[in-house]
Structures are given as C-alpha cells and as structure tokens.
Amino acid sequence: MQNRRDFLRNSGMGIAAAATLPLIGQATVVSNSISAAEVADLPMGFAGFSFLRFDLDKSIAMMKRLGVTNLSVKEFHLPLNSSQETIDGIKKKLADAGINMYTIGVIYMKSKEAVDQAFEYARKCGVNMIVGVPNPELLAYTEEKVKATNIKMAIHNHGPEDKLYPSPKDVYDRIKDMDPRMGLCIDIGHTFRAGVLPEKAVVDYKDRLFDLHIKDVTAMAKDAKVIEIGRGAINFPAFVKALRKIKYSGISSIEYEKDMNDPLAGMAESVGYFRGILKG
C-alpha cells in the first residue's frame, strides 16, 4: 500500500500547487488539469459549510482550482426564503462554472413550518434530496413531505455533543421502518468522534446511506479537532474499501472546517489525499 507521501506526490501535488496560484486567473487551467484524475465510481463534492467565510464567486473559484464539481449549497449562499428568480440566477452561475448543485443543506428544522420551507426550497432549487436535521418529533411529518414530493431526506449526525443524532445509529434507529426515501448523511468525522468507525457505519446502514460529509479528526474522542484529511486518525483506505464494497452511489463531499478564514491550502491537501486514496 502507498503511504501518505506517495498519495500526495502521485495524486495531489498538482492540486496543492494550485493553492499558490492567483485565485481567479488560474481557475480554469487547474480544473482542466485535474479533471482527468477524478475517480468516476466515487465522485467527490464539497459541503457548502466549507465556504462559510467566502461569497459564492470566491467559493466557485476555489472549487474550480481544486477540480471538484459537486456542491451541497448552504443558505448563506442562497437564503431559504429566496425567490425563484434568485434561485435560478444562482443555479445558472453554478452551471456556467461547471458546478452541480446536487443537494442543499444542512438545514435545521424545529417546526412543521421549517419542514415545509425546506421542502419548498428544495423544489425551487430542483434538487431531489435535502441534507437536514428535523427534530425527532417532526420525523413523521417529514416522512409525509417526502412521500408527497419525492424529495429524499438525508439526516445528518453531529457527534457526541449532539442531543438529537450523535451517531448514524441514532438516525437509523428512528427511520429504519419509514419510507425508504428517509435516510442518512453520515458525517464521518462526527461519527468517529462518537466512537464509531466510519467504515463500519457505511456498511451497517448502507440501505439508507444517501450522502457523506468527509473530514478527518485527530482522535476518536469527543474533543478531537478537525484536521487535513490524511493527517488524522480515520483509516481512509478502509473507509473507501467499505464504500466500494457496498457500491455507494452518492457523492463524497469534503467538509473542511480547519483554518476557515484561509482554507485553500488545507482543502487542496485534503482533496489530493482523498483522491489519491480513491486511485490507490
């Protein structure tokens, strides 16, 4: 098996080098050079929270430099109460940049009105899945909306401090007998902090696994810190092997939460390492 340095040298150095180039001017060149390295069976994306400190134009430019073309859009780039005209404009901007808005979220839902708003927002955006956190008492109502709209709900776990859904099991146990379009977005960093191996979780809950948020953390502990992918404690070769075992067909979206004011170098390292694992 290749070690981390080999992966970065063989698959990620072009991406990492891109982080030193001017932000806008080099975007297309870098994207074109990386696209051939994309691994088709496990396409990559970005969770929109990664770009919390940046407007949409800068976020698009960074994604193009990194050669990643799938985005889960967050409301700070496209507010939940946006008009259809505004949504269509954002969708066109993304499409013109070669970026696919494949889902929306994470959206938190603490009332029936919030559930209604989330599904209407998804309908306007033209996506077939919401990454969300409906309160447990709203799951039956959420299931009704799923049935009425044919829009899937991927419930996101948030780790040991989360009172609602700490681990994927906490989601799965509540929705396993519901409509099959009620499922999970497994955040592997939070899963690991909750004491669960991501490679086990994706196999255990494969029938309801709709989406993934990919990050690395320093330890299997509640207070573990996020870190560049490949520098932490998660066994990514085992995780990718498990994804291929279950024939996972969704997007693997990196959610980069370190150095959020200046994230590009860490994003580049993370994308390069994860792509190297996929190729290796």
For residue 97, what is the domain's CATH number? Answer: 3.20.20.150
Over 90: is that where the pLDDT of 170 sits? yes
**For residue 68, is the peptide bond before it cis, meaning its omega torsion is within 30 degrees of 0?**
no
pLDDT at site 39? 62
Q: Is the dihedral of CA 156, 162, 167, 169 positive or negative?
A: negative
What is the per-residue pLDDT across 196-216, written as a single tens digit (0 to 9) for each? 999 999 999 999 999 999 999
When the pLDDT of each residue in the chain is averaged and rounded to a whole number, the result is 90
Give me the domain span that covers residue 179. Answer: 4-279
Residue 40's pLDDT band, with cuts at 50, 70 and 90, is: confident
Q: What whole-number percentage of the chain has pLDDT above 90? A: 85
65's tokens: 């430099």
pLDDT at site 204? 98
* Separation between Cα atoms, residue 164 and residue 232, nearest integer Å: 26
CB 30 within 8 A of CB 272: no
Over 90: is that where the pLDDT of 189 sits? yes
Residue 263's pLDDT band, with cuts at 50, 70 and 90, is: very high
Over 70: is that where the pLDDT of 22 sits? no
Task: State the angle between helix axes of 56-66 and 84-96 in degrees (0 to 180), rounded to the nearest 10.
Answer: 30
Q: What whole-number percentage of the chain has pLDDT above 70? A: 86
Over 60: is that where the pLDDT of 26 sits? no
Count of domains in the chain?
1
pTM for the full predicted model: 0.89
The residue count of the chain comes to: 280
